[in-house]
Amino acid sequence: MDLSTRQGRREQGLRIQSAVERAGLSIEDLAAQIGCSRALIYQYVSGSTLAQPDRLQQIAAKCGVQLSHFYNDDAAPVETSVPASDPVDVTHRIQESLRSLEELADAQASAPNHKALVATSERLVSLAQQAGTAMEQGRAFERLGNALLAIGDYPGAATAFQRASEHAVQANDVRMLAAVRQNLGNALLSQGFNSAAREHFEWVAGSSQGPSVRWRGLLAVGALDEQEGAYKEAMHRFDEAAVLLEEAAEGGVISEEEANIGLLYVNANRTNVYMDGSDFDDARKLAVDCASRAEAQGSADQFLEARFNIAWCDVHTARWADAITGLATLSQLARFVQDQRRESLANGWLAISRACVGDFETALNLAKDAFATALARGDRLSELYAQMGLADAYTGIAQRQTEALYHANQALSVARAMRLDRAEAEARSRLSALCEAGGDHAAARDHADRMLATANKLGARHLVAYGTSLQNAARISAGETVSNSELELAVEMAYATTYCEAVMHSTWVLCRHEETTASRQQEVLERAIAIIELGRKGLIGASIIDTVLENDTFFRLYKRLANAYSLQNKESQLQSFLEETGWPPLLAWNAGS
């Protein structure tokens, strides 16, 4: 074993731990007998500190093993089971080992060191199954489930929580059962098993364990309602959860600090409802407030959640620099605290953001990484947005439209499997645009119709605006008569939501319409391009390379405005526009047109 690496030291630590258990000692016993602190032994066992030879010699002597056992790669493994002797003595030794491992697990959880915690939890399960009570076995499986949930092994976590719930029932420990079922629901939800997850959340919400437990179940049920578009029901659940927290704090059932942390979770979910309903300004304000409160209260989890919500709003409203820097920071913070799910989600959305500003190669690499991580962890939600990121990246790369269609269809499949209506509408928006660009106008119309129906059902105004514009484009391509007033209405709908994608697409469709005069084209194009230019300036100010006009969605608007100036013989305005844009391909296009 290579003791210069953490892995090598961890392997040696496992041998120390195994030898101690086989000798029937606790960590405290060993520490007292060799004259050191138990914390030092824990550091040896976890691999964070290399055990010195003199200490190893003492440990070997007390445990009855050769010193070489702690060094040789071919050393025979030491069994963790206790040799047959007096049953009472055997049980006592196992109980002592259980206590020692539980303390080690607590230390690893507080660090946190999730991978080491998984290994320790597995040993706890093994020992608890040898001589532990139903309660101890349930507690061991719960620890293992929590550790697996933290590293993103959702199938493994679900299995562990299921076993924990069985033992909690045997032990008649309703409080443990409530905590386990809450996390079992989380593990199932992460795999896309919404109905099964809801069953567990509703049980917790209706349990007899009091407000400090029930609010989590209510919040989770509300989050599922929000994902499925039942916003009124979701807000009702969130309000119920908030009342429970406030009443619990007033009654002294929980501390004021715990109540404030709980309210952060409630407000994060309220933010999601605002975003779903296209109220990006209020959503962002609430998310900023949540981030400030989370930082003040030391809640890393809710600080990350708030930062994600801020970035989500920024992506949709063309605050591209804020979105990119925010998501990049979020990815790094999530990695630092070992939150793999948020890291993967942040990279998926960062890919979407990079593709939006025309940096397609960077977007592709980010989306591939997010996709690989999501698949490895069985994380369907992260997979969903990684698939969307891949679709957006390939859309902007020449000769990769087939791959873009494939990944957009995969995103649609995941969204439908998870019953995420909003995500389904987002996936269909990509498919409609891709089919329209590829000349499959019937498919483009079908996706736009379905997107619009879903968006209307959800009350997602920004998606209604975008879906209406996509539908108008497909109708025009199919030879249907679409009035100029319908197209003008679509533009105003888009501006009312501040959703950049809808604004740009509806502007493009209006300007292509034969009834739209050159002067009107100039007016609506200047209004749309002002938003793009503000975004470009933000990128430059943040020292992010400006690739915005690599995105053909935006570039074609610039070309259209240049053409509108030319049609009206506004040469000075044309030249001023070209110079201010500062984009050589636009100059080259104008020179050749």
pLDDT in tens, 14-71: 888 888 888 878 777 788 888 887 767 877 877 767 777 778 878 888 888 877 778 7
Q: Which of 431, 433, 486, 494 is nearest to 462 (CA)?
A: 494
The predicted structure's pLDDT at residue 111:
54
* Range of lowest pLDDT (7-21, 89-103, 323-337): 89-103
Higher pLDDT, 344 or 209: 344
Report phi then psi at 454, rounded to 5.
-65, -45
Neighbours of 217 (CB within 10 A): 25
Q: What does the alpha-carbon distance between residue 149 and residue 183 come to, in Å, rounded to a whole number?
A: 8
Cα first-last separation, the chain: 69
* Range of lowest pLDDT (41-45, 143-147, 390-394): 41-45
- Confidence band (pLDDT; 50, 70, 90) for 329? very high
Higher pLDDT, 409 or 123: 409
Inter-residue long-range contacts of 433-438, CB under 8 Å, 24+ positions, other chains counted: 433/395, 433/470, 433/505, 434/391, 434/395, 434/401, 434/404, 434/405, 434/408, 435/405, 436/470, 436/473, 436/474, 436/477, 437/401, 438/401, 438/405
Provide the token pair at 204.
């917790």
How many residues comprise the chain? 593
Q: What does the alpha-carbon distance between residue 518 and residue 537 come to, in Å, rounded to a whole number?
A: 27
Cis peptide before 77 (omega within 30 of 0): no
The label of the residue with tokens 């970035």 reads: 311
* Range of lowest pLDDT (131-140, 435-444, 462-471): 131-140
* DSSP summary character for residue 440: -
Selection from 102-106, 152-156, 543-547 with the highest mean pLDDT: 543-547
Q: Which of 210, 151, 222 is nearest to 185 (CA)?
A: 222
**Cβ pair 273, 231 in contact under 8 A:** yes
Q: What does the alpha-carbon distance between residue 278 and residue 502 come to, in Å, rounded to a whole number?
A: 12
Q: Is 294 exposed, middle or buried (0-12, 13-18, 19+ CB in 10 A)?
A: buried
Is the pLDDT at 152 greater than 60? The verdict is yes
In a domain, 332, yes or no: yes
Provide the token pair at 178.
């409530």
Of 419, 449, 470, which one is at a domain's C-terminal end?
419
Q: Which of 427, 476, 418 is nearest to 450 (CA)?
A: 427
Q: What is the largest CA-CA distance in the chain?
A: 103
Q: What does the alpha-carbon distance between residue 211 and residue 173 come to, in Å, rounded to a whole number?
A: 17
The predicted structure's pLDDT at residue 77:
46
Is the pLDDT at 453 greater than 90? The verdict is yes
pLDDT in tens, 564-573: 999 999 999 9
Of 401, 419, 437, which one is at a domain's C-terminal end?
419
Per-residue burial over 14-43, b if 16 or more Cβ lie within 10 Å, else e, is bbbbbbbbbbbbbbebbbeebeeebebbbb
- Confidence band (pLDDT; 50, 70, 90) for 420? confident
Mapping DSSP to helix (H, G, I), strand (E, B) and coil, where does residue 66 land?
coil
**Cβ pair 314, 326 in contact under 8 A:** yes
Q: What does the alpha-carbon distance between residue 522 and residue 535 come to, in Å, rounded to a whole number?
A: 20
In a domain, 407, yes or no: yes
**Cβ pair 207, 174 in contact under 8 A:** yes
The predicted structure's pLDDT at residue 459:
85
Provide the token pair at 572.
């000075």
The predicted structure's pLDDT at residue 108:
64
Please report, for the chain, how many H helices and E strands are present, in that order.
29, 0
Q: What does the alpha-carbon distance between residue 306 and residue 334 come to, in Å, rounded to a whole number?
A: 12
> For the residues 126-130, what does the mean pLDDT come to?
80
Report phi then psi at 161, rounded to 5.
-65, -35
Residue by residue, DSSP assigns 101-122 as HHHHHHHHHHTT-HHHHHHHHH
State the sign of the Cα–Cα–Cα–Cα dihedral 273, 276, 282, 287.
positive
Higher pLDDT, 534 or 43: 534
Range of the domain at 344: 318-419
The label of the residue with tokens 């969307």 reads: 388
pLDDT in tens, 367-385: 999 999 999 878 888 999 9
The label of the residue with tokens 């470009």 reads: 536
- Confidence band (pLDDT; 50, 70, 90) for 95? low
In a domain, 326, yes or no: yes
CATH no. for residue 46? 1.10.260.40
* Range of lowest pLDDT (118-127, 182-191, 231-240, 354-363): 118-127
The predicted structure's pLDDT at residue 409:
97
In a domain, 528, yes or no: no
Is the pLDDT at 207 greater than 90? The verdict is no
**Cβ pair 503, 484 in contact under 8 A:** no
In a domain, 456, yes or no: no
Provide the token pair at 279.
């109220």
In a domain, 140, yes or no: no
Q: What does the alpha-carbon distance between residue 200 and residue 211 come to, in Å, rounded to a whole number?
A: 17
Provide the token pair at 376.
């490895």
- Confidence band (pLDDT; 50, 70, 90) for 99? confident
In a domain, 253, yes or no: no
Number of domains in the chain: 2
> For the residues 477-488, what does the mean pLDDT come to?
93
The predicted structure's pLDDT at residue 494:
96
CATH no. for residue 405? 1.25.40.10
Share of the chain above pLDDT 90, in %: 60
* Range of lowest pLDDT (139-143, 163-167, 484-488, 587-591): 587-591
Q: What does the alpha-carbon distance between residue 515 and residue 86 come to, in Å, rounded to a whole number?
A: 96
Tell me the Ramachandran region of residue 37: left when phi exceeds 0, alpha when psi lies from -120 to 50, beta otherwise: beta
Of 132, 153, 176, which one is at a domain's C-terminal end?
132
The predicted structure's pLDDT at residue 80:
41
> For the residues 394-417, what does the mean pLDDT come to?
95
* DSSP summary character for residue 173: -
Arithmetic mean of pLDDT over the chain: 88
> For the residues 465-492, what does the mean pLDDT come to?
95
- Confidence band (pLDDT; 50, 70, 90) for 227? confident
pLDDT in tens, 209-225: 788 889 999 999 999 99
In a domain, 106, yes or no: yes
Instruction: Look at the pTM and tell me if it is higher than 0.75.
Output: no
Q: Which of 145, 151, 186 is nearest to 164 (CA)?
A: 145
- Confidence band (pLDDT; 50, 70, 90) for 79? very low
